[in-house]
Amino acid sequence: MLMTIREKIQTLKDRYDQRRKDREDRRIILEPFVDRLNEIRQAPRVTKNDFFCTSCHRDVTGLSFKQVSAVRPMLPTAWFISKCPLGHRVIRRITDKNTDPYYDFSLMVSRSRYDMRDDFLDPSDPRFQILYPKQYAELMKHHERGGKK
Ligand SMILES: [Zn+2]
């Protein structure tokens, strides 16, 4: 069967679009994997780090080494490993940083969170009115104006 020029061009266009779509799909599937690989690659092999020893129940700082696991090939994981002064194994995550238990355990982290608590104060918190009387008054004025319409 003969194709007109227009049909031929359309076929080529469709093929091109399909390839582009396939490439994009593949990129979306591979993106988390590539992100993890980059995270792992960018982490230094040896570096000083803050840790929390769950056995000694205290914060420690020390030289640590990068370890990589590819047990799940599409989900490579990495972490820094070190030892507390008493020889307990301590780790910090390189991948999945946001779920690193360090942030839940570390006394140093909770202390700095405590120090910053006033910076994250919600205006509905009673302490807000005491710490920022001027801002509170302004907010209330603004609130009243908005309420009237
Ligand atoms: Zn320890």
Widest Cα–Cα separation across the chain = 84
Asked if the model's pLDDT at residue 149 lies above 50, the reply is: no
Within 8 A by CB and 6+ apart from 82, the residues are 49, 51, 60, 62, 63, 64, 65, 89, 90, 91
pLDDT of residue 32: 87
Residue list, CB under 5 A from ion ligand 1: 53, 55-56, 84, 86, 88
- Domain range list for the chain: 1-105
Q: 125 CA distance to ligand 1 centroid (A)?
A: 38
Give pLDDT tens digits for 26-65. 888 888 899 999 999 999 999 999 999 999 999 999 999 9
Q: Report the C-alpha gap between 92 and 104 in whole angstroms.
A: 12
Q: 60 CA distance to ligand 1 centroid (A)?
A: 8
> 149 or 91: which carries more pLDDT confidence?
91
In the chain, the N- to C-terminal Cα span, in Å, equals 71
Q: 84 CA distance to ligand 1 centroid (A)?
A: 5
- 73 and 37 Cβ atoms separated by less than 8 Å: no
